[in-house]
A = this chain, B = another copy of it.
Amino acid sequence: MSQIVEINSEPTKQNKKELARQKSQALILDAAERLFSSSGYDGASMNAIANEANVPKANVLYYFKSKDNLYEAVLERILSNWNLGLIDISVNDDPAVALYKYIYLKVRLACEQPMQSRLFATEIIRGAPYLGDYIRNNTRPWFRKKIEVLQAWIDANKIAPVDPTHLLFMIWSSTQYYADYQTEILILQNKLEYEESDIQAITRSIAQLILGGLGLKLPENR
């Protein structure tokens, strides 16, 4: 599995090859992400994915041994991508600033990478057959820590006493909604796509309601 990676600045042949390999795989993963997210696991056929990636189907199955395997790889890539950009909240932060930033980044992610959120959503709706363990072993401990942070803020009278669990769910739901229900939202607003100004307006509205509900003022330097 593992491969020795040269630290040398000049890429070796091994390095080149591995790079090409990853590039090929990334191309297939991109296509798979697009199709899985729009058509669901069963709706996206290996054939369609291969076409989307402009490679023969057998090649897809050469890199990813099965459809399950490919689906899992797509999910893992999404999760690692999310973990990269995830800004934490911690006890010593100023609640208003930290929460505003958190909301803003979540809205950005939802509007700019909606496919990832949608794929995640369908996986959960199906009963999380692949992510169940991940949520139990990774998300839950992280979740509990954040609950503690929120509770600490409440105890220190920094925010109004709201059930921290549902507060966190509310931030997740109101931001993710703009990805998952994008189609409906755009129809209702008679728009073709989100613009930069929408991201600002969404963030402001969500922050206004949630921070307001917590008895906080919107931070100055947004």
Contacts and interface: CB of A to CB of B under 8 A. Distances in A.
B38 A39 contact: no
Interface in A155-178: 160, 162-163, 165-167, 169-170, 172-174, 176-178
Nearest to A147: B188
A140 interface: yes
Contacts of A59: none
B128 A125 contact: no
Interface string A119-153: 00110111110001001100110010000000000
Interface string A32-56: 0000011111110000000000000
**Can you tell how many copies of this chain the complex includes?**
2
Interface of A: 37-43, 118, 121-122, 124-128, 132, 135-136, 139-140, 143, 160, 162-163, 165-167, 169-170, 172-174, 176-178, 180-181, 183-185, 187-190, 201-202, 204-206, 208-215
Given A40-B43, A122-B122, 20 more contacts: A38-B125, A38-B126, A39-B126, A43-B126, A128-B184, A132-B187, A135-B184, A135-B187, A140-B190, A160-B208, A162-B205, A165-B205, A167-B205, A169-B185, A170-B206, A176-B177, A177-B177, A180-B180, A209-B213, A210-B213
14 contacts: A37-B125, A39-B126, A41-B43, A124-B183, A128-B183, A128-B184, A160-B212, A169-B178, A173-B174, A174-B174, A176-B177, A177-B177, A208-B213, A212-B215
